[in-house]
Amino acid sequence: MTKANELTASAAQAAIRAGDLTSRQLIDACLDHTQQRDDDVGAWIYLNPEMARAAADEADRIISAGEATGPLHGIPVGLKDIIDTKDMPTEQGSDLFKGRRPVTDSTMTRLLRDAGAIIMGKTVTTEYALTAAGKTRNPHNPDHTPGGSSSGSAAAVADQQIPLSIGSQTGGSMIRPASFCGVHGFKPTFGTISRAGMHPLARPLDHPGIYARSLEDIALMGDVLMSKDPLDLDMRGHPKANLVEAVSKGAVETPPRIAFVKGPMWEAAEPYMGALFEDIVKKLGSTAREVEMAGIFDDALNCHSTIMLANIVANLGDYIRDTPDKVHKETIRRVAQGNGIAAEDYVKAIEFSDTVDAAVDHMFEHCDVIITPAAPGEAPKHVEGTGNAIFQKLWTLTGVPTLTLPKLQGPNGLPIGIQVIGRFGQDATLFRNAMWIENAL
Amino acid sequence: MTKANELTASAAQAAIRAGDLTSRQLIDACLDHTQQRDDDVGAWIYLNPEMARAAADEADRIISAGEATGPLHGIPVGLKDIIDTKDMPTEQGSDLFKGRRPVTDSTMTRLLRDAGAIIMGKTVTTEYALTAAGKTRNPHNPDHTPGGSSSGSAAAVADQQIPLSIGSQTGGSMIRPASFCGVHGFKPTFGTISRAGMHPLARPLDHPGIYARSLEDIALMGDVLMSKDPLDLDMRGHPKANLVEAVSKGAVETPPRIAFVKGPMWEAAEPYMGALFEDIVKKLGSTAREVEMAGIFDDALNCHSTIMLANIVANLGDYIRDTPDKVHKETIRRVAQGNGIAAEDYVKAIEFSDTVDAAVDHMFEHCDVIITPAAPGEAPKHVEGTGNAIFQKLWTLTGVPTLTLPKLQGPNGLPIGIQVIGRFGQDATLFRNAMWIENAL
């Protein structure tokens, strides 16, 4: 029999509404499993079982009373610990913010609560969502990294401790951990999920995202979170994404034109990745083919680095100047990389990023969806760090929506994701194309 | 009898449509007057009388044939020489671009031609619309500056050589020359006029604008130019401004709440400005009063400088590195000011500018329109430079629409403008409030 914590959010939601499961049973199963696994996985920086159980009891009371419920009613979720919660600490993975209690919820937290979700706790993040790793290990093998920076969010969902969680990506922090941990990850179009109440790392690049164990679950949470918020000045005027509707329609009917790209990222790919993707392209059939990336993309990775590092200095520089002993030496090393950047080069990078945007958009005139690895290969050993973000940077820079599908395995038996990339603002279409690809494999 | 070149564009347009004036008569009058005055004023860097006369003859043929005409049919206009024209040189006021012939029209040029306007020539700009002055003198007194950088555009309209022209403002280059030359100037909301085909100085700050001798004329040209263009990535989603409709409705009926502000700019004001504006506030009646600006604005001028200088280095730095002998030493001096700026400080300035935007918007919760001087005083002597942009920087930074009304005179009998400032995106309302102020004075 399937344990409640193993259910997807959609299945659990259906069972709760049918009276076959209570939110309390679900929360209890999740908390019990978390307790058993926590020493090995270490996905959580803050858990409050009592508060979660009380919230579940209240959710069950609402169901019994026949009161109105939201789309995530009684479902436990985890939030990366850079996302403010008024009833739990939010420490940014740092010593400096140890014990910090925000006064208000972030917009994401508020939207989740309004939808009926239960915030089960805060998941481990690298310090300030940069590279200094926390305690989390890969649930498939504790010698390996879960990836970063959204380490705990990806690991907790992969390990069936919760069905849904939120992470964020400024370099490659959503899609890479999903690949390493073997879950679905979604980085939506830039500016579609509010970052109000989330610690900023690089405002032009910061994307919140979603982890789940099915596309259906991501759609369920996506429709809740992708809501315009005047508190985030970079929100775009996209209409609601309607991901649930897209997923309910199923895969696109006509086989999509699929472009497999290697690009300048491929230099970092493990030797075994070539054969894995040759096989994928073959399986996807006659509408899939390898497409060479134009020369302009060679400079896109540097452009991403210039923008990210300059913003990191602006956002974290004062912490190091004021309290150097409370900042991890790895964070200090990364911030130092941004110290010498001239404003002139930053302005040129911002300008160039518009050209890269146009070049990516141009690619979509000749294909419907782009695929590429979600990581250079399997998760590296924990001691080697959280892995390389090179396969995400271009799509973070250009803000296009990306999904990763946990479809591949490396030589050590660890998961690897297929990254599926859509056109800017066309998140719903990306889901239907991703469903086609999942079906074809 | 009024000479044709002295007519406003609206009056000339009505006369042409009524058959009382031909475009050729209008162009001839403008060219004759220009020729008489050119040695003293020097507003033009390029004039092609033959081409202008041929265009006027064609405009008259279209009228005779009863063919469709646009809102500026047969009206001569001048373009600042940073705005590309496919049939005239565009030299950016520089030695480096001497003789450059663009391959295509800028979007502004195209919109004007589509509306039937005749591009009479290119007006003098300071080098790259920065501070190195060209040959233009103030039409009221050749010992004085017309202001910069849109020197020729403001002077040519003030001197009745043309009824309408285009300039641009990155610091204070639209409103200050209008004030010095005694014409109406309009800097619309940021992102409402396309800059595609205009030499960039600082993309987050560059605003094209309009000079005329009446608000009605500005509205006529504004409705032609304020049109969304995918080639300018910073165009905002404003609906059409409908300035002509606003002006035809006339002044607002209820006296607007008018806030007279001094702010940190006032330190640069000439001693006689206090009495001039006390008198203005008195004349405007009970709904006008002086309002103190919040402390946050003290840092806004530095924020503007950081953003402007960093972009100047990005846009002009290579010219100096590659061909230092072809760049004016004043331009080199200004670019050098931006050389030491760190990307960190630029990112912080961009972030702070959002806070300043919000603070300006907050002021409009307590007033309908803001007034302040359009310049520290009368035009300085030509040898002293093109004047101080301090009274424009805040409104350029925040992108709110501003008009200047040529309503004041300084101790030397030279004109001074009243700058009238509206809420972001509410250009039409600004016009109706400005009409109320013009009527009240």
Predicted confidence (pLDDT) per residue in A231-263, tens digit: 999 997 667 889 999 999 999 999 999 999 999
Which of A61-75, A237-251, B47-61 is predicted with the least confidence, judged by mean pLDDT?
A237-251
Give me the pLDDT at residue B163, please.
Answer: 98
Question: A43 Cβ partners below 8 Å, 6+ apart?
Answer: A34, A78, A123, A124, A136, A146, A151, A152, A153, A155, A156, A159, A161
From the list B311, B338, B343, the residue facing A310 with the nearest CB is B343
Q: What is the pLDDT of residues B161-217, one digit of tens each?
A: 999 999 999 999 999 999 999 999 999 999 999 999 999 999 999 999 999 999 999
Q: Which residues in chain A touch residue B203, judged by CB atoms under 8 angstroms apart? A: 351
Local structure of A122: helix, strand or coil = strand
Tokens of B31: 């060219």
C-beta atoms of B237 and A237 within 8 A: yes
Residue B303 clears pLDDT 70, i.e. is over it: yes
Q: What is the pLDDT of residues B205-253, one digit of tens each?
A: 999 999 999 999 999 999 999 999 999 999 976 668 899 999 999 999 9
Average pLDDT in the A40-62 region? 98
Give me the pLDDT at residue B236, please.
Answer: 78
C-beta atoms of B338 and A339 within 8 A: no
Q: CB distance from B293 to chain A under 8 Å?
A: no
Minimal C-alpha gap between A37 and chain B (Å): 42
d(CA A129, CA A151): 9
Question: A163 Cβ partners below 8 Å, 6+ apart?
Answer: A5, A7, A8, A9, A12, A75, A76, A77, A157, A212, A213, A217
d(CA B433, CA A270): 66
Measure the N-to-C terminal CA separation of chain A; round to a whole number of Å: 27
From the list A233, A343, A354, the residue facing B345 with the nearest CB is A343
Check: pTM over 0.90? Answer yes or no. Answer: yes
Q: Of A80, A122, A187, A393, which residue is the catalytic one?
A: A80
Residue A1 clears pLDDT 80, i.e. is over it: no
Alpha helices for B3-133 (secondary structure H): 9-18, 23-41, 49-64, 107-114
On whether the CB atoms of residues A186 and A214 are closer than 8 A, the answer is no
Q: Of A173, A179, A194, A353, which residue is the catalytic one?
A: A173
Q: Where in chain B is the domain with CATH 3.90.1300.10?
A: 4-248, 254-298+347-440
Q: CB distance from B310 to chain A under 8 Å?
A: yes
Q: Where in chain A is the domain with CATH 3.90.1300.10?
A: 4-248, 250-298+347-440
Tokens of A254: 């006509």
Average pLDDT in the A64-72 region? 97
Local structure of B228: helix, strand or coil = coil
Assign domain B4-248 to a CATH class: alpha beta
Give me the pLDDT at residue B2, please.
Answer: 86
Average pLDDT in the B107-121 region? 98
Phi, then psi, of A259 in degrees rounded to 5: -105, 115
Residue A418 clears pLDDT 90, i.e. is over it: yes
C-beta atoms of A343 and B237 within 8 A: no
Instruction: Give me the architecture of the A250-298+347-440 domain, per CATH.
Output: Alpha-Beta Complex (3.90)
Question: A274 Cβ partners below 8 Å, 6+ apart?
Answer: none
DSSP lists the bridge partners of residue A119 as A77
Q: What is the pLDDT of residues A275-319, one digit of tens each?
A: 999 999 999 999 999 999 999 999 999 999 999 999 999 999 999
Q: Which residues in chain A touch residue B399, judged by CB atoms under 8 angstroms apart? A: none
Residue A2 clears pLDDT 90, i.e. is over it: no
Nearest CA among B312, B374, B349 for reference residue B187: B374
Residue A368 clears pLDDT 90, i.e. is over it: yes
Average pLDDT in the B60-73 region? 97
Assign domain B254-298+347-440 to a CATH class: alpha beta
Q: Where are the beta strands (DSSP E) in B68-217?
A: 76-80, 118-123, 164-169, 184-187, 207-212
From the list B314, B347, B354, the residue facing A344 with the nearest CB is B314
Q: In this structure, is the dihedral angle defined by the CA atoms of residues B380, B383, B386 and B387, taken in order, positive or negative?
A: negative
Q: CB distance from A237 to chain B under 8 Å?
A: yes
Residues above pLDDT 70, as percent of chain A: 99
C-beta atoms of A311 and B342 within 8 A: no
Nearest CA among B123, B12, B152 for reference residue B72: B12
d(CA A407, CA A410): 10
Residue A149: is the preceding peptide bond cis (ω within 30°)? yes
